[in-house]
Structure 1
Amino acid sequence: MGDTVELEDAILKRTSVRYFEERDVPEEDIRALIEAAIRAPTASGLENWKFVVFGSKKARENLYGLISEGMIRYYRAVNLPEEKIGKLGRRMYEHGMYRAPVYIAVFIDKNVRFLPGEEFDEPEFIWSVESAAMAIQNLMLKAVELGLGTVYIGVTNFPGIEEGVRELAGLDENHYLVGVIPVGYPKDEVKPRKRRKTLDEVLVFI
């Protein structure tokens, strides 16, 4: 258990960690992360989120393969030269980028909703994703307090890959994957990056 961290410190220290130590994360810490996550706002009080922890070696390796496939597909989509994609592959398979002792996949159950009727399908879905995203942020801030690193993986949402993650999680097609979060102790010194835009560039008062 890490020392108590002030909220402002946790917000400022949180950054994307892509390389992790091989040591295990205590189950009590994983539970603490999820406990923090489910304190997030949840649209209509539905709590229609599901947190699946990939901790066994086999489960982690299977999921890592899907993450790697998604990353390569992502860089091809932005027309990265194959030579650089090859370097990315080596960073992943030889140096362990995104290889973590624990992965937390966050899903929502689209069948659990509040408003009836097709006209509300889209807002209900958006609200559920927003709720899960806020839960993920709570999880990430709690991780800072516990001395853990996290990073958000979105490429697992690509067609074919999302279905693979869902199958590994043992969930049906009514569940939608919001994101996969690698969790572990940072391998290197954590150095939060500055934002490219200033506060005044993104803030509007009316």
Structure 2
Amino acid sequence: MELDEAIMKRASVRYFSEEPVSDDEIRALIEAAIRAPTASGLENWLFAVFKSEKARKKIYDLIGEGMVEYYRAVNLPEEKIEKLRKRIYEEGMYRAPVYIAVFIDRGIRFLKGREFDEVEFIWSVESAAMAIQNLMLKAVELGLGTVYIGVTNFREIEEKVRELAGLDENYYLVGVIPVGRPRDDVKPRKRKKNLDEVMRVL
């Protein structure tokens, strides 16, 4: 598969089949992820793979909690929240055979001094985000689907995910990626803005 094809075919997949993701496939995803650029060459990322039934259920429930919190934050009416909750818990939205939580270790840094705290943090998150994109493109090549979950960053939920991964407070959760084979045909959405709207040549 050519890179351009993988980029164009990548889409956010929210419904997955029950077919397992193999250990070799998981390793291939992480191997692709760690080939991403990393600020100052620190490689201060960590990929926690939740694969057991017990761990997956806990992560899935936390995603559900986060989605409800998100819906309420954007003032969605309770009846609509109930419909969305049904899609999650009854229809299995975001239920996947594997979840990969991507963390950065804030204790590993290049520039010393509190005045560099913010920029070091930004660089680390950017590095992890590029790793996530590599992982997602590799998933396309392997016939797998992924979706980025950001609602696990709500403070109480982020803490619970970190505890499940057995990590201390130095670690910050950048995102959780459900991984599996798509239940339905994948149809990438068109972008809302065209190239001329988002590009400025100076």
Partner residue of 2:107? 111
Select which of 156, 159, 184 maps to 2:152. Answer: 156
Select which of 62, 66, 69 maps to 1:70. Answer: 66
- The alpha-carbon deviation at position 7 of structure 1 amounts to 0.1
Aligned partner of residue 175 in structure 2, secondary structure? strand
Mapping of 1:53-92 within 5 angstroms? 53-92=49-88
State the 4+ residue runs in structure 1 displaced beyond 2 angstroms: none
Partner residue of 1:186? 182
Distance in 1, matches of 2:69 and 2:61, equals: 12
- Percent identical among aligned pairs is 77
Aligned partner of residue 155 in structure 2, secondary structure? coil
- The alpha-carbon deviation at position 159 of structure 1 amounts to 1.3
TM-score normalised to structure 1 length: 0.98
Q: In the alignment, residue 44 of structure 1 is paired with which amino acid?
A: S
Aligned partner of residue 160 in structure 1, secondary structure? helix
TM-score normalised to structure 2 length: 1.00
Q: In the alignment, residue 165 of structure 1 is paired with which amino acid?
A: V
Distance in 1, matches of 2:51 and 2:101, equals: 11
Q: How many residues align?
A: 202
Q: In the alignment, residue 148 of structure 2 is paired with which amino acid?
A: Y
Partner residue of 1:31? 27
Distance in 1, matches of 2:45 and 2:153, equals: 16
Aligned partner of residue 18 in structure 1, secondary structure? coil
Q: Any gaps of 5 or more consecutive residues in structure 1? A: none
Distance in 2, matches of 1:42 and 1:203, equals: 25
Q: Does 1:93 align with 2:86?
A: no
Distance in 2, matches of 1:72 and 1:80, equals: 10
Q: Does 1:6 align with 2:2?
A: yes
Q: In the alignment, residue 167 of structure 2 is paired with which amino acid?
A: L
Q: Any gaps of 5 or more consecutive residues in structure 2? A: none
